[in-house]
Structure 1
Amino acid sequence: MEEADERKWKGKAKTEVRGHKAEKVWPLIADFCGLSKWFPTPTCIPVEGVSGQAGCVRFCAGFKTPVDQKDKQTVNWTKQKLLYIDPTNMTLRYTITESNVGFYSYVATWRVIDCGEGSEVEWEYEVEPAQGWTLQQLNSFASSGLQVMGLRMEADLTTVDQALRLSN
């Protein structure tokens, strides 16, 4: 068993959400089935349980990966199960239960952390090596997706703050 664990790929990506503290960013992450609002995944819908509660399952599809061929005809998809959510520590953990992108034994942890004048979203993951992928490609996919996510969250939270200031 230890030998199999040593063979797993491990990675971490981070992004800043400037100007917005963790308590404002956390509800966006905790909305487990709302991932498509932030991450470059066109489809993310609940398929089982209640979004944001341990045991719920989301279906994510339509995202591009670094290993996709230009003439690829199939849609990339994953089913992801929320294993654990801790609002106090602003942490959640999920696993991919099914997919057509080659991930097996995938487990990820997301955290939101205060830092300076803003916050940071951290995505740690562990997965068995995926056929057709390199760890560098997986790290690039996570990092670029998380950067887009951070910028979208920052923009939307800034819009809310500005609108509320103007209405007062």
Structure 2
Amino acid sequence: MDAIKLLTAQHRALENVLKKALQANGAEQYALFKQGADELSVHIASEEQIFYPAVKAKRTRDILLESLEEHLSLKRLIADLLTLKPADDTFQPKLKVLSEQAEHHHKEEEEHLFPKVTKLLDDKELDDLGSEMQALQLALIKHGDPRKSAADETAEAQPL
């Protein structure tokens, strides 16, 4: 699958699950948060480990560095939320910020990074990249609880 189409589809799915989490309560809200956090964590990992290095070019460097800082912020929010329960006063506001920041990050990638990438890579390269990303994502899911791995990566942004 084309890497950009894969990432864009995942953006919409992540936004949807986080919006559902914001509308839910109690155990359902926490289950939806965990689902979203796992999906977001494997998405971020595949971008950082595969997509960003593959598209690193002079014309994308600034966007990628900003994206990595946004990933760090998202990981920190996931880490914070994992220590809370939905009944805690700060759970709902942090979940809302996570949702808003994820949506903002997705919009920036789709408007600024992806158009440049489509000029840098041909269809086969994008398909190969997408397949590699999907394989990594499946491995991370199979390993279990990807959100916990993301929560462990909060000291600094991943290097480019």
Asked if Structure 1 and Structure 2 have the same fold, meaning a TM-score greater than 0.5 normalized by the shorter chain, the answer is no
Which has the larger strand fraction? 1
State the structure with more CA Rg: 1
Greater relative contact order, per chain length (Cα 8 Å cut-off, separation 6+): 2
Which has the larger helix fraction? 2
